[in-house]
Structures are given as C-alpha cells and as structure tokens.
Chains A and B, each alone.
Chain A
Amino acid sequence: DTGVSQDPRHKITKRGQNVTFRCDPISEHNRLYWYRQTLGQGPEFLTYFQNEAQLEKSRLLSDRFSAERPKGSFSTLEIQRTEQGDSAMYLCASSLNPPYEAFFGQGTRLTVV
C-alpha cells in the first residue's frame, strides 16, 4: 500500500488521558498536514510540516496539542489531557510540492468519554 496510512484507526480514551496518533505519508512527499473533522463539517487545518520543519500551526492547536515529524518521514500528533471536545476524526494528508494536490489517509477517529 503506497498511500497515506494512519494508526490507530479508532481510539476511545477517558477524559484527561493523553493520546498519540501516527501518520506515515507517501514516501516521496515532503509535505505533511494534519486536519480535524467533526460531523457535518469539512476538515479544519491543524498544522503542516515541510520535511521535518513545522511551518504553520492553527489557532485550533492549543498548547495541549503537539505534533512532530522527526527526520521528515512519519509524523505524530499528541493530545494531552484530552477533553470531550477533542472527539473528532483526525486526518493526515501529504503532498509532494505545491500546487496542493494533497492525498489523505483514512483518519483516526477519537472518542473521549
């Protein structure tokens, strides 16, 4: 499978716990994006990497959220002290260079109970 892969596909966690998601982009893609999607809404941008550098972060990304992309390959998104409002689908996408033809992974559905 040469597409974008995300792990896990589903995560149920108790409020206050920390969770970490992983994204493996298409291998030759240097750009990696994280989006969050809730029911009835389009994806909302969270953050973006070019190679290992995190170049942009949304205001949505509170200090409880952190993302890394060591060595410019896979990326992790960590949410600390989860809240019920964090329940959403977390989507990862990658692209080679602009113009912006991003390919998405299957997403990680987070449920905070």
Chain B
Amino acid sequence: EDKVVQSPLSLVVHEGDTVTLNCSYEVTNFRSLLWYKQEKKAPTFLFMLTSSGIEKKSGRLSSILDKKELFSILNITATQTGDSAIYLCAVPQGGSEKLVFGKGTKLTVNP
C-alpha cells in the first residue's frame, strides 16, 4: 500500500534557525511529490517536485527530491514566527489521482 512518512512529527525552534523537514514515500508509478503548509485551516500549496536533484526555491523555502532513495526534504532558512504551521507531504497514489498524505510535521518557531 502506498504510504508517506514524515519526520520529525514535531519540531520547536527559535527564530533565525534553519530547519529541515523529511518526507519518505513508497508509491507505485511515482509521478510527483507535493509539499503543503497548513496553518489554521486550508493546506496551501508550496512545491511540486517531479525530478531528482532539481531544487525548487521560494524565498526562504526550498525543496529537493531524491527518487532513488525515495525521499524529499523541505528546508526553511532564517525561520520566522510566521513559519509556524504543519507541513504536509503528499504523493499521488499509483494509478489514481488521490493524494496520499503524511501525518505532517508541526513546526513551532518561537521568538
């Protein structure tokens, strides 16, 4: 069965720290991996990764995919309190358009 495992499940840091969030996956017929940020309600889209080794970057956030080792990382540099959220990783299930999500990493950035 397709699955996504995120680690750590929870992380507390101070403003200015750099964090790395991990996502490993098992899926048949891999097509893409997506990262979302969930603050109060709706997950908001961050990145979609399809190719190994190509870094996607948006401001202080960046992400990279390793299709050989079946994982992705999300880096956040110079963290701010506004980065506090749950970060979700998801992959489309093989042969389906359903997204399989991990449990998420709850990031808390303290001032």
Contacts and interface: CB of A to CB of B under 8 A. Distances in A.
Interface of A: 4, 31, 33, 35, 40-45, 48, 55-56, 58, 89, 91, 98-107
Q: Which of A42, A99, A104 has the most CB of B within 10 A?
A: A42
Contact of A104 (B43, B100, B102): B43
Nearest to B92: A100
Interface of B: 4, 31-32, 34, 36, 41-45, 48, 50, 88, 90, 92-93, 96-104
Contacts of B32: 99-100
Contacts, number: 68
Cβ-closest 9 pairs across A and B: A42-B101, A45-B98, A104-B42, A106-B41, A104-B43, A106-B42, A107-B41, A99-B32, A43-B101
Nearest to A99: B32
A100 B103 contact: no
